[in-house]
Amino acid sequence: MSRRTAGVVLAVAAAVAAIAATFLPLSWVGTGQGQVRFGFTTTSWTTVVEPVELGEFRATPQVGVPIVVAAVVLLIAAALVFLPAHQRQASRRTAIAATGVLVGSVWATFMTVQASLELFTRDGRASIDREYGAGLWLLVAAVAVAVVGTVFLHAEPPPPRPEGVVVHRLDDKDADLDTPPLGIQVAVLPDDHPEPPAGPEVRTR
* Residue 131 φ/ψ, nearest 5 degrees: -155, 145
Contact 149, 17 (CB under 8 A): no
The pLDDT, as a whole number, for residue 141 is: 96
Per-residue confidence in pLDDT tens, the chain, 205 aa: 688 888 899 999 999 999 999 999 998 887 766 667 778 888 888 888 776 655 555 656 788 999 999 999 999 999 988 887 777 788 889 999 999 999 999 999 999 888 888 876 665 555 677 888 999 999 999 999 999 999 988 776 666 666 656 565 655 555 555 555 555 555 665 665 556 665 566 565 5
DSSP string, 134-194: HHHHHHHHHHHHHHHHHHHHTPPPPPPPPPS---PPPPGGGGGGPPPTTS-PPP---TTSP
The pLDDT, as a whole number, for residue 163 is: 64
The pLDDT, as a whole number, for residue 164 is: 58
**Count of other CB atoms within 10 angstroms of residue 197:** 6
Which residues are CB-contacts of 194 (< 8 A; sequence separation ≥ 6)? none
- What the chain holds in terms of domains, given with CATH numbers, is 3-153 (1.20.140.150)
DSSP state of 63: T
Give the predicted TM-score (pTM) of the model.
Answer: 0.69
Residue 49 pairs with which residues in a beta bridge? Answer: 40
